[in-house]
Amino acid sequence: DTGVSQNPRHKITKRGQNVTFRCDPISEHNRLYWYRQTLGQGPEFLTYFQNEAQLEKSRLLSDRFSAERPKGSFSTLEIQRTEQGDSAMYLCAGTSLLEAFFGQGTRLTVV
């Protein structure tokens, strides 16, 4: 148990709907990352926060995606107008050092 929790674990949504995922790292994690993983691939970087500041966003993060980390604690990732290509495992990771500790992920299925 890494102490990083993600909710929900699974989400099935219809194409065009909006979805929001939540990540709760442990309090010591000043950096928080979002990754996306599809079958047969390694996790792909989406965005990361240093405390509450969003410092970097991947070009994978289209304008339909938005992430927040209010007060530098939990984080949310919202996907608007979901598309079938958004189906993936969304992983959150927290760290205060170099090794990132991942939550169990949210499996999104867009039908």
Partner 1 sequence: DQQVKQNSPSLSVQEGRISILNCDYTNSMFDYFLWYKKYPAEGPTFLISISSIKDKNEDGRFTVFLNKSAKHLSLHIVPSQPGDSAVYFCAALSGVSSGSARQLTFGSGTQLTVLP
Q: Total residues at the site for partner 1 (CB under 8 A)?
A: 25
103's CB contacts (< 8 A; 6+ apart) are 2, 4, 5, 6, 23, 25, 91, 92, 93
Q: Does residue 24 contact residue 12 with C-beta atoms inside 8 Å?
A: no
The C-alpha atoms of residue 32 and residue 69 are separated, in whole angstroms, by: 9
Is residue 2 a contact point for partner 1 (CB under 8 A)? yes
Binding segment for partner 1 among 13-21, 63-71, 76-84, 100-108 (CB under 8 A)?
100-108
The C-alpha atoms of residue 31 and residue 10 are separated, in whole angstroms, by: 24
Is residue 21 a contact point for partner 1 (CB under 8 A)? no
Binding segment for partner 1 among 11-19, 63-71, 73-81, 95-103 (CB under 8 A)?
95-103
Q: Give the nearest distance from C-beta 95 to partner 1 in angstroms.
A: 9
Is residue 70 a contact point for partner 1 (CB under 8 A)? no
